[in-house]
Structure 1
Amino acid sequence: MRYPLLIFLLALFESCDYSNGKTPPHYSLPHGYRLEAMEKLLLSEDLEEVSGLAWHRDELLAIEDESSIIYRLDPETGKIRKKKKFEKNKDIEDLLVRGDTAWVLRSNGNLYRVVDFREKDSQTVIYPFPRREKRDLEAILANPNEPFIWLFCKVCEWDEDPSRSSFFRFHLETMQFDSLPAGKIERSQLSTLMPQQELEELKIQPSAAAIHPLTGEYFLLSSTGKWLMTLDGQMKPSSVHTLDPSLFKQPEGITFAPDGTLYISNEARDGRANILIFSYRP
């Protein structure tokens, strides 16, 4: 069942000690969403390490990073309706849906195309990532108006340090990757978007991504450092929001319902995995 938030979360006391002169972080969400208007779904043990979310038809889809299963969830209760095994167990990180095809990202950058994933006789095709250097990619998104899938590095050798995250393009017309990054999101782009103290400590290591169905904004989520970023269609950051770690314990998945309702999933860590729900009120 859903659990409405009865206490204004920003008033919660943190255990951090700010006597060293540092200013406590300001927790927020992008325009149209409010922390105090949150609801929560608790997930079953099957989804303790939930690592990705997507919306399809009237359901939430979820994956977890210890098995290659697409879970179909009731968006009102979080209960599992059906499961679909699409591959041997791999380190699975994010997913999206176009039509009746699910695209699933493995941490090494490989993409799984699961055709007719709702059907018993679905087919899985694997598209290997074109580079072999050490890499960890955990976020994908696709603009319905573009024939691409975007993949974001969390920790990739060629990025050299956590101040940047390169992103790649997979072409849906040719079913091929570009071998070089299409661009990078860099800490230097955020200098006017957040306090300098928070910026200096920010690691650009995204763990999930989604596109807002009404505004077209890209949303990029990070479990490392607990932040949520919005970007325009040219991958230019427009806002950065620090997330309360007492609420967003390990945010690894993000998606939207067609009406703009925001869903963010958290791995279990020291409790139960959950999905946090925020209604869109622009």
Structure 2
Amino acid sequence: MNQISTISIFLLLLFSQCYSRSKENSKYSFPESYALEQMVKINLSQDLEEISGLEWINETVLWAIEDESSIIFEINSQTGKIIRKQKFAKNKDIEDILMVDEEAWVLQSNGNIYQVENPFTEYSNTTIYDFEIKGKRDFEAIIKVKNEPEILIFCKVCSWDKNASQASVYSFNLDSMAFDEKASFVLENKQLKDILKEEDFKEVKMQPSAIALHPIENRYYMLSSSDKWLMVLDTELKPLGFYHLNPRFFKQPEGIAFGQDGTMFISNEANDGNPNLLIFQYHP
């Protein structure tokens, strides 16, 4: 093989690889206010191998929970180091966490909610509120409705939903301390028809894993770990934006939280590696 042929083959292979990578990257997107290339990645302790929920507390502190231990972890938001931790119940499948009036509210996959008063103190006390609807169910996301005495929990996979194209949302009232008996809302992939092409939105699996309220935009940001997407919704749960996430960076995104300045935190479970925390500065 002469030198010209060798160079030609090399250039062809290089072009093919670049084209393939460009084509792959074109499938993925990210909100314009956040730069993926400026992401800061922090590896977390193996104690958080199955980190499944995040909550922003202040400029230096996040709360986190992981699937199996029923422990609330307080971690440094800049280093990822565990500051302290506290067990709040017997080991259960725990999926998400939020803070309401200095108390921790934790979601179990079966829909039960744990109210943890005075966390990280000797006076800590846990009350369980049972989700009464029977049937196969897997809840993974919880959020407090702004300015309302209401918590919403989101089905990832529930037997009463028709299929992966929809996800039921249930309400817990903080005045009556009780769940509504019927779903307050149903998310459906057909609600994305004004955002995505038909052949795309019909393929979306509506399986939310985490949700947080953006403090500046006043919009919900919702993650799916199973279908690798990030969705932006208004406060009425109407989809406004949809982004397919690159699994190179988002191997198993299970938690999301925002700082008051709009800094976005996303956590990934280990998934045969290290659990990590991804930090994105807000650039509106």
Q: Does residue 117 of the first structure (1) align with residue 153 of the second (2)?
A: no
- Higher alpha-carbon deviation: 137-146 or 107-116: 137-146
The 1-side partners of 2:247 and 2:95 are apart by 21
- 1:50-199 matches, within 5 Å, as 50-57=51-58, 58-199=60-201
The 1-side partners of 2:173 and 2:214 are apart by 21
- When the two chains are superposed, the root-mean-square deviation of aligned CA atoms in Å is 1.9
What is residue 44 of structure 2 aligned with on the other side? 43
Native 8 Å contact 1:50 1:273 kept in 2 = yes
TM-score, length of structure 2 as denominator length: 0.90
Native 8 Å contact 1:25 1:242 kept in 2 = no
Q: Among the aligned pairs, what percent are the same residue?
A: 50
The 2-side partners of 1:62 and 1:167 are apart by 22
Does the C-alpha gap of structure 1 residues 136 and 15 become closer, same or farther in structure 2, counting only changes over 3 Å? farther
Secondary structure of 1:158's counterpart equals coil
Does the C-alpha gap of structure 1 residues 258 and 15 become closer, same or farther in structure 2, counting only changes over 3 Å? same
What is residue 213 of structure 1 aligned with on the other side? 215
- Which sections of structure 2, spanning at least 5 residues, go unmatched? 1-16
1:142-189 deviation per Cα after TM superposition (whole angstroms, max 9, x unaligned): 133111001000000111200001101100111110010001111111
Following superposition, which runs of at least 4 residues in structure 1 exceed 6 angstroms of deviation? Answer: 12-16
The 1-side partners of 2:183 and 2:117 are apart by 27
What count of residue pairs does the alignment treat as equivalent? 267
The 2-side partners of 1:194 and 1:71 are apart by 38
1:35-83 deviation per Cα after TM superposition (whole angstroms, max 9, x unaligned): 1110011001100000000011331111000110000001110000000
- Which sections of structure 1, spanning at least 5 residues, go unmatched? 1-11
Shift of 1:14: 10
TM-score, length of structure 1 as denominator length: 0.90
The 2-side partners of 1:230 and 1:130 are apart by 30
Among candidates 219, 237, 240, match of residue 239 of structure 2: 237
Secondary structure of 2:175's counterpart equals coil
Q: Which one has the largest radius of gyration?
A: 2
